[in-house]
Amino acid sequence: MTENSKTGASPFSFKPYQEKEGEEYMNSAQLKHFETILKNWKGELMHEVDRTVHHMQDDASNFPDPNDRASQESEFSLELRTRDRERRLIKKIDESLKEIESGDYGFCESCGIEIGIRRLEARPTASLCIDCKTLDEIREKQMG
């Protein structure tokens, strides 16, 4: 399950980038493509945050029945955890947008090689190439 499907928001309503032969990696067209994906994704997440706030304000009730109160608190707690994950994701999106501005987007922050167009389309906030990410996950698993 990807981070995108966990939060319910998706940047996947875009047409995949068609690379041209001999095209330079992370040229202006590619950067614009990813900037659009990231901004649209952030917009969707921000819309969900607003929806949650209104939902919690509108549905907040002081139920006399303890079971009803507990159900509502449980529902609100789950929604708040989801929004917290989305808040962290928005922070990652903002970091990726800053990398686009600085010209660092699309390159592994660990080894400096190209992350790859398809990997970035699958995970637009990726900051590690697949090899470094795999090593990172192995280390994480070994640390327990």
- Phi, psi (degrees; rounded to nearest 5) at 99: -65, -35
Distances (CA, A) of 73 to 7, 68, 76, 78, 82: 20, 9, 5, 9, 14
Residue 86, pLDDT above cutoff 70: yes
pLDDT of residue 98: 98
pLDDT band at 49 (very low <50, low <70, confident <90, very high): confident
Q: Please give the Cα distance from 54 to 11 (Å, whole number).
A: 23
Q: Which of 126, 142, 143, 131 is nearest to 34 (CA)?
A: 126
Burial (0-12, 13-18, 19+ Cβ within 10 Å), 81:
exposed
- Its pTM stands at 0.79
Q: Please give the Cα distance from 108 to 35 (Å, whole number).
A: 18
